[in-house]
Amino acid sequence: MRVFVTGATGLVGAHLVLALLSKGHQVRLLVRSREKAQIYFKSHGHTLDDIVIGNMNETDKIRLALSGCDAVFHAAANVNLDIRQIDSTVKSNLESMESVIGSAINAGIKNIVWVSSTTVFDHDKRGFIDENTPLRTSKDPYTKSKLLCEKWAREKQKLGAPLQISYPVGVIGPDDPSLSASNFALIGFKEMVPITTSGLQYIDARDLADAHLHMIENPHSEPEAARYIFAGKLHSWQEIHSMIEQASGATIKAQKLSPALMRFIGSATDLIKKIIPLNTRISREAMDLMTMWMTCQSMRQAQEIPVTIRPALSSFKDTIEWHKEHY
């Protein structure tokens, strides 16, 4: 099988490519840097030449690249929490759906997998989120763009498009070509872990790749049922602090913070960003995720996709050790 992959030099896409190659599949990558892709995969024992240079919004180039492909995996996204760039974030991500997934549907490709986000789901009165939870509304850049993409994708599923949707929680793990947002935050916690309400859930990129591989190798006969949350156990901030200390072998500062204060800081930072170009990942959206996380349950995944999600502590250890060796 030949699989067209976007986002191949990101954490999720890179591990999926490695999983595909380990099973003898062929890949065609859409990347912005041939050199970066080839160096990364060569370090894992693979020499790749079937590479298309471009971005996820170049429709004509993508249409040509899809020729001879049996499946498509779309993981590339503009992950931007900057309130100043909400219009460009929304435009970029929504256009990529037409460019990549729309082109794949029109080309008659029989299996398409798109990586969405658990942030599209509303806070459920049941106290947890699953694949049946209604969608939320949002004015935040990244979530708003994902919501519009989600609605677009679901309309295509209703029309019978062979599209499967993946909803991972925070993805971490070693061998990260670009230091993803979740890995960046995890490494930052070595300096200080906030102790506040709620907590976070993680999934290791290697386990997520196994799940995505299964989705690619097994097209779903009912597109509207082909939606899967992938999530590990919910850990409180106290548990996260303890695991990071175990994983790093160091004493880590734990700072109690009021959730209301954190959300206020996020809102204030967004306002300041409209005036001053601050280079910070602090935002109201980021603070909401940290203080109001709702448990995500992998109901369909547990029933349909045979993948074991390793404990967060194991992922923490591997990721921190990898970062120590490479940075």
The edge-to-edge listing of strands for the beta sheet with 199-204 is 170-172, 199-204, 234-236
**Residue 109: inside a domain, yes or no?**
yes
- Evaluate whether residue 68 is within a structural domain: yes
Give the H or E element holding residue 88: helix 86-96
| Residue 85: band (very low, low, confident or very high) from pLDDT cuts 50, 70, 90 | confident
Residue 157 maps to a domain? yes
Q: Is residue 191 part of a domain?
A: no
Name which of 116, 149, 145, 119 is nearest 133 in CA terms.
119
The answer to whether 4 and 72 have CB atoms below 8 angstroms apart is yes
Note whether residue 317 is domain-resident.
no
267 in any annotated domain: no
Each residue's pLDDT tens digit, 294-310: 999 988 898 999 999 99
State whether residue 84 is helix, strand or coil.
helix
The stretch 169-198 carries a mean pLDDT of 95
Task: Report the C-alpha gap between 255 and 55 in whole angstroms.
Answer: 41
Within a domain: 89: yes
**Mean pLDDT throughout 2-28?**
98
- State both tokens at 273: 């960003």
In percent, how much of the chain has pLDDT > 90? 82
pLDDT value for 225? 93
Q: Cα–Cα distance between 16 and 7 in angstroms, integer?
A: 10
Q: Which contacts qualify for 194-197: CB closer than 8 Å, 24 or more apart? A: 194/237, 194/255, 194/256, 194/257, 194/262, 194/290, 195/237, 195/238, 195/241, 195/254, 195/255, 195/256, 195/257, 196/237, 196/256, 196/257, 196/258, 196/259, 196/262, 196/290, 196/291, 197/259, 197/291, 197/292
Q: Is the pLDDT of residue 39 over 80?
A: yes
In this prediction, residue 82 carries a pLDDT of 67
pTM score, whole prediction: 0.95
Rounded CA-CA distance 103/63 in Å is 6
CATH code of the domain covering residue 162: 3.40.50.720
Number of domains in the chain: 1
Residue 141 within any structural domain of the chain = yes
Residue-number span of the structural domain to which 109 is assigned: 2-179+203-231+294-309
